[in-house]
A and B are shown apart, each in its own frame.
Chain A
Amino acid sequence: MAASTVWQLRPWAGASRRSVRILEHDLLVFRRGWYSYMLSGLAQPFLYLVAMGIGLGLYVNRNGGLPGGVPYLNYIAPALLVTQAMMAAAFESAWPIMAKIMWDKTYLAALNTPLGAMDLLVGDLMWIAFRATLLAALFLAAIVLLGAASSPMVVLAVPVAVLTAIAFAAPIMAFTATQQGDGGFNALFRFGITPLFLFSGTFFPIEKLPLFLQPLAWLTPLYHGVAVARSLSLGQIEPVAGLVHIGALVAFAVAGVVAGRITFRRRLEV
C-alpha cells in the first residue's frame, strides 16, 4: 500500500457513509438483551463505588486520606467511570470482532455488498463508542446518585470516557485483524488491560508507584483519560495539561484507525 494513502489527513479515509449500516446491524442485534446489559451497566458502578469508594474509602480517609483532602470516593469515581468504558471497549474490540472476522464470518458477508473493509472498521468503532457512551452515562448516574462528584463538570467525563474507549478500541481492533485465534487476547488482557486498570492511577496516585514505572503510565491512554476525567469531576481544571491529555487520546485513536486500515484491508480485502 502506498504511504500516501496511509498518511492522509482524514484517518477514516476509505470509509463511506455506508459504515452506518454496520452500526445498524449491531444495534439490531443489541435490541435483544439490551436491558440486561443496561442493568449490569448500572449495578456494577454502584457495587464498585460503594465497596471501594465508601467502604475502602473509610480506611483511606481515616489514615489522613489523599493529598488535598479529597474524599477517596470522589477520587476514584471518575477514574472508575473511564476504566469501565476502557474495559468494555477493549473486550468489544477483541472477541466479538474476532467472531465477525473468523468464527461467524459476518464481515465476509458484508464484504459481498458495496461495503468495504474501512466501513467495517469505522462502523464497529461507532458501535463500540455507542456502547461506551451508554456505560459511561449509567456510571455518571451512579456517581450523581452517590454524590461522588465535586463539580457539575463531571458530565464532561462521559465524552472523555468515550474518547478513551475509542483510543483503546481502534488499536485493539487493528490487532485483532492480525490474529488467527483468540490466544493473543489472553496475553493482551492479562498483561495489558488488567495492569492498566490497576496501575493507571485509578485506585491510587501514580506517584505512589516506583519512580521508574511512572513514565510507563504516561504512555498509556488510560492514564490520560483518568487524569482529565478526574480533574473535571473534582473541578480542578488545568487547561494546558487537559489539552495535552486530550491530544494524547486523539493521537492513540488516530494511530489505531490508521493501523486498522492496514490490518483490516490486509485481512479482509484479499
Chain B
Amino acid sequence: MGHAQIVPGSSNDGSVAEKAASGPDSCFGWSEAGQWNPVAAAWARLRPSGPGCGHLNPVAAAWARLRPPERCPAYHPIVLEAAATPESLIHARGLTKRFGAFTAVDGVDFDVAPGEAFGFLGPNGAGKTSTMRMIGTVSPVTAGTLTVFGLNPKRDGPKIRARLGVVPQADTLDPELSVLENLLVYGRYFDLSWGEARRRALELLDFVQLTERSNDKVEPLSGGMKRRLVIARALINEPSLLLLDEPTTGLDPQARHLLWDRLYRLKQRGVTLCLTTHYMDEAEQLCDRLVVMDQARIVAEGSPRQLIERYVSREVLELRFRRDDGEADDDAHIAGRLDGLAERVEQLPDRVLVYTPDGEAVAATAYERGLRPTSVLVRRSTLEDVFLRLTGRSLVE
C-alpha cells in the first residue's frame, strides 16, 4: 500500500485485514463417551483374524458395508423415495472441461444413484476437482452432457445449488464472522428464515461437535474443526446430495475418523455422497462405488472390492532383503526364485511385492526355494495397490 493519502473518508477501515490471533486449540473431543460409533464398531467386529492378517485391515470396513444387512445389524439403510426411482442424481456422458489448450477432464461418463456414496479417486491433477466444480455448477461444461437432479447446470444453476451441499477443497469460511454466524448467514443465502436458519445451525453444530465454539471466531479453530464447520455449513439447506472435495486432506488421524463417522451417519440418513480423495483408506471407508481418474480420464470403475479383485490379487506378500552382503541376492536372482509362484511380482528398490491369493503359502515356498528375506509381511491388497497399478508409481504433479 502506498503512503497515506490526504483524502477524507479514505482512512483505513478497522475491519479490513482483520486477523484474529491464533488462540489455544480446544481438546479434540471424540464422540460423546459411550456413544456407539458405527464405523468403529464395524471395524472391531469384522477385523479379520486369519493368518497374516493380524494388523488392522482397512478393507474390513469396506466389507462391512458390502455384507447383507441381516449379518450386519449396524447397517440399517433408510430407503428414501428418491432411492426408489432409477434415475441418476448425477448423469455425465462425454463430460469435458478445457482451460484454453489444457484439457482437465476428457470425456468422462458416470452416474451417481440416489443414496450411494460415490468417489473420485486419483492423483493430483487428474481432473477430480474440475469434475466436482462442474457438478456444483460453478464451472461451465466445455463439452458433453451433464445433468444434476435431472436439471441442466447451465440453465438451472440456482435450482441445483438450492438442493446441493458443497464442501470445497479450501475451507472458504467467513473469517469476519463467528462459527454460528457462518452458518446463519449461509442459511440466509438459501432463503431460510432467521429462525429456521438458527434452529438448523444449532442442530448442525451439535452434529459436528462444535456447540462449545459457536461464538468463537473461525480463525483459531483447528483444521479438523474448520472442516467440520464447512460440512455443517454444507448441510444447512438439508441437501439431498453432498459434494465433498478432498474432505480430510491435511487432517490428523483423530480428525479424519471423526469426519468419516459423521459422513457415514449422513449416508445412513439417505444423503447421497459424492467425494474426491487421493487417500485409499478414505475411499475404502466411505465409497460404495468409485471411479479411478488419471490424466483427465476415468481408468476404472467399481466398488472397492470389485476393483481389488479385478486389478490385484487378494493378498500381497512383501519381502525385504539385505542388500549389503556379498550374497547374490540381486534382483534377477530373487525374480528367478519367485518365478511361477504368483500372478504378478513387482520389484521396488527396497522390497519385492508378490501379488497372490495366498501370501503365507508363497512365503513358505519361497523359503523352500532358498530365499532368505530379512522381513516377510503378508497383507490384504488395498485400493492403494489398485491405484498404483492403474496410475503408475511415478510422481504426478
Contacts and interface: CB of A to CB of B under 8 A. Distances in A.
A169 B233 CA distance: 44
Given A103-B17, A103-B19, A180-B21, A37 B11 contact: no
A82 B19 CA distance: 33
A88 B6 CA distance: 10
B374 interface: no
A197 interface: yes
A86 to B, nearest CB: 9
B3 A135 contact: yes
A220 interface: no
Contact of B4 (A91, A102, A186): A91
Nearest to B2: A40
Interface string A122-159: 00000000010001000000000000000000000000
Contacts of A185: 12, 14
B18 interface: yes
A258 to B, nearest CB: 25
A181 B4 CA distance: 19
Contacts of A180: 21
A24 interface: no
B1 interface: yes
Contacts of B1: 95
Contacts of A135: 3
* Dominant secondary structure of chain A at its interface with chain B: helix
Contacts of B16: 182
Nearest to A95: B12
A87 B12 contact: no
Contacts of A183: 14, 18
Secondary structure class of chain B's binding surface, majority of residues = loop
A151 B57 CA distance: 89
Interface residues of B, number: 17
Contact of A194 (B3, B11, B18, B20): B11
Given A37-B3, A44-B6, A186 B14 contact: yes
Interface string A194-210: 10010000000000000
Contact of B6 (A37, A87, A92): A87
A40 to B, nearest CB: 6
B370 interface: no
B8 to A, nearest CB: 7
B11 A190 contact: yes
A183 B18 CA distance: 8
B19 A102 contact: yes
Contacts of A44: 5-6
A242 interface: no
Interface in B111-126: none
A41 interface: yes
A35 B4 CA distance: 16
Contacts of A37: 2-3
Contacts of B18: 181-183
A257 B116 CA distance: 67
A186 B12 contact: yes
B368 interface: no
A32 B376 CA distance: 59
Contact of B8 (A103, A182, A194): A194
B13 interface: yes
Contact of A88 (B4, B12, B17, B20): B4
A84 B21 contact: no
A36 interface: yes
Nearest to A132: B3
Nearest to B3: A88
A103 B21 CA distance: 8
A239 B373 CA distance: 96
Contacts of A48: 6
A83 interface: yes
Interface string B1-41: 11111101001111011111100000000000000000000
A181 B18 CA distance: 7
Nearest to A40: B2
A12 interface: no
Nearest to B18: A181
A182 B15 CA distance: 8
A40 B1 CA distance: 12
Nearest to B13: A186
A166 interface: no
Given A102-B19, A181-B18, A83 B3 contact: no
A188 to B, nearest CB: 9
Contacts of A190: 11
A22 to B, nearest CB: 19
Most interface-central of B1, B4, B11, B13 (chain A CB within 10 A): B4
A191 B18 CA distance: 20
Interface string A90-102: 1110010000001
Contacts of B12: 91, 95, 182, 185-186, 189
Interface in A61-85: 83-84
Interface string B145-186: 000000000000000000000000000000000000000000
A102 B3 contact: no
A37 B1 CA distance: 9
A262 to B, nearest CB: 21
A182 B14 contact: yes
Q: Would you list the 10 A-B pairs with minimal beta carbon distance, nearest first?
A: A91-B4, A186-B14, A88-B3, A189-B11, A87-B4, A183-B14, A103-B19, A190-B11, A40-B2, A88-B4
13 contacts: A40-B2, A41-B3, A91-B3, A103-B17, A103-B19, A131-B3, A181-B14, A181-B20, A182-B14, A182-B17, A186-B12, A186-B14, A189-B12
Interface of B: 1-6, 8, 11-14, 16-21
Given A44-B6, A91-B3, 19 more contacts: A37-B3, A44-B5, A48-B6, A83-B6, A88-B4, A90-B4, A95-B1, A102-B21, A135-B3, A180-B21, A181-B18, A181-B20, A182-B16, A183-B14, A185-B14, A186-B11, A186-B14, A189-B11, A193-B11
